[in-house]
Amino acid sequence: MTHSVSSRLRGPASGLAGLAGLAGLALAFALGGALLPACGSAPNSIDVRGYPPDMQARYDLFEKRCTRCHELERPLNAQVGAGGWPKYVRRMARHPAAGIPAEEQREIALFLEYHAERRRDAQRQALEGGAP
């Protein structure tokens, strides 16, 4: 998260243009933070404090292994159907130099399935909560 921001700011922008860019970026982040959860998308990280400890440990692994080539936002925003993650994680692990052992692939897929299930539950509850 932080490195992507700083790499964008390190561009040719300077002086007032740089400040305007900074303000625009801050606004985009503020808006994104407010709007994304509402439309079911996920940001670049998730708050797993309410998750069981084993799932928190798997999240750490997921964060470590799946951010080498792209940001976490990639898998967090992916539309992968229920039960689809084991296959998807295997596909990622087949990239040359991914370096994700089979055992860790299983752990990561377990987390992603669990997280997706919780997200579906939350969306269902939000819909039902809206009814009188």
Instruction: Write out the residues near ligand HEC by the rule CB under 6 A.
Output: 65-66, 68-70, 74-75, 78, 89, 92, 95, 97-98, 100, 108
Token pair listed for 8: 């964008």
Alpha-carbon gap, residue 39 to 124, rounded angstroms: 13
Q: d(Cα 9, Cα 21) in Å, to the nearest integer? A: 8
Smallest distance from ligand HEC to CB 35, Å: 20
Min separation Cβ 112 and ligand HEC, Å: 6
Q: Which is nearer to ligand HEC, 95 or 124 (CB)?
A: 95
In the complex, the smallest distance separating the C-beta of residue 34 from ligand HEC, rounded to whole angstroms, is 24
Place of tokens 């976490």: 72
CA-based max dimension of the chain:
54
